[in-house]
Amino acid sequence: MPEFDGGLAHTRDYFFAGAPADPDVRESASVWVCDENGTLGMPSIGIEAVAKSWDERGLQVNVGFPGDRTVVAWGRGEGHSPIDDDGICRTFGAGGLEFRCEEPFARTTVHFDGSALDTNAGRLARSDFTGPQIPLRVDVALEAAAPPWVSGTLNPEARAMFDEGFAGAFISPRYEQLCTCRGTLSVGDDEWRFRGTALRIHRQGPRDVLGFWGHCWASALFPSRRGFGVLAFPERPGVGAYNEGFVLDGETLVPATIVDAPWLRRLTPNGENVSLTLRTAGGDLHVVVADQRIVKIFEITGLTNVFTIADSLQAAGAS
């Protein structure tokens, strides 16, 4: 497969072997999965570890199906970051959830085995967390399809906002990478095998989202192996706006910005128009989402400011 490290040192894709000295430094790993048939989506499977509570980590696994059904595992789990015989930490875990760097910027595996709440997006939006607990098992193998995008590196305005403005504190040092994926999902007595696309995120550094007022964060990998990614914050007087993204043209990330962000303005299980336009030096790219099959809710946890479900964001998967 092509080299998709983007010129980054391979050690950057490994995990911390122990708690950082700075109590506010964190490490997080997450993936967002959509299967190619629109049968299921996994918006945010992730672990969040903060140095000051290193051995107790936040975790979440979110599974959504067409319609309203949602299966979620949220909470905290015992942290584990075992060191391999060569002295490298390739594994990042919390409770029954584990990320494994099989090959830096090339192959990652994710495994979860535990119980989850069987509910629906409407009930979660109302902060109703009642319902049965059922067995949940997830196994996903990811393979890189693009170089990693390091936030704050694709245009001068974004770099300035990241280094000197609010964006660096909200986003923190991190990168994301478009991938293909395959795996199995078991929910109760039902099992699915799937192939699809995924977005992988790895963060190492301090993060403070106190005062966070929302963002538009979208990406896709198409069958042609073209794709895009974008992250933007609504502009505020006296603060400015962060707007950065890319269009994947073969194996190259072409810098882009979003022109008409589909801001989240209400909590709804599905059906909102999330089409958008990206602007590059070579012209505009219109992304029309015609079939919005899966839109579910995930929780933001493990941050300096912990959001309740009423403040949560939506994650969308569309084919």
The pLDDT tens digits of the residues spanning 9-66 come to 999 999 999 999 999 899 999 999 999 988 999 989 999 999 999 999 999 999 999 8
Confidence of residue 206 (pLDDT cuts 50, 70, 90): confident
Q: Is the pLDDT reported for residue 302 higher than 50?
A: no
The reported pLDDT for the residue numbered 161 is 78
* DSSP notation for 133-169: EEEEEEEEEEEE-S--EETT-SSHHHHHHHHHSSHHH
Q: Does domain 10-317 have CATH number 2.40.370.10?
A: yes
Going by C-alpha positions, the residue among 86, 77, 191 that lies closest to residue 134 is 191
| pTM as predicted | 0.89
Asked which of 176-185, 211-220, 221-230 is least confident by mean pLDDT, the reply is 211-220
Q: What is the pLDDT of residues 75-95, one digit of tens each?
A: 999 999 999 999 999 999 999
Confidence of residue 308 (pLDDT cuts 50, 70, 90): very low
Q: Check residue 123 and give its pLDDT.
A: 87
Determine the 3-state secondary structure of 170 from DSSP: helix
The mean pLDDT of the chain is 85
> CA separation (Å) from 121 to 43, 74, 129, 292?
12, 14, 10, 15
Distance between CA atoms of 16 and 39, rounded to whole angstroms? Answer: 35
Q: Distance (Å, rounded) from C-alpha 217 to C-alpha 209?
A: 15
What's the angle, vertex CA 294, arms to CA 270 and CA 42, rounded to 5?
A: 130
Domain range list for the chain? 10-317
- Sign of the torsion angle spanned by Cα atoms 150, 151, 153, 154: positive
Which one-letter DSSP state was computed for residue 268?
-
Asked if residues 260 and 284 have their Cβ atoms less than 8 Å apart, the reply is no
Element (DSSP H or E) covering residue 278 = strand 276-280
Q: What percentage of the chain carries pLDDT values higher than 70?
A: 84
